[in-house]
Amino acid sequence: MARVPLNIKFEKPIIISGKEIPEVTMQVPKGKDMHLVSSIANPIERDFVLISNLCGLNATVEEFNEVDLKEIIQLQTALKSFL
Q: What is the pLDDT of residues 35-59, one digit of tens each?
A: 999 999 999 999 999 999 999 999 9
Domain-located, residue 42: yes
Count structural domains, the chain. 1
Residue 40: which domain range? 6-82
Residue 45 domain flag: yes
Dist. CA 64–CA 51, nearest whole Å: 10
The phi and psi torsions of 79 (rounded to 5 degrees) equal -60, -45
User: What's the pTM?
Assistant: 0.92
pLDDT attached to residue 83: 81
In a domain, 46, yes or no: yes
pLDDT of residue 30: 95
Q: What share of the chain is helix, strand, coil (3-state, %, to 5)?
A: 45, 25, 30
Does 1 map to a domain? no
Residue 21 has a CB neighbour count (10 Å cut-off) of: 16
Report the pLDDT averaged over residues 4-17.
96
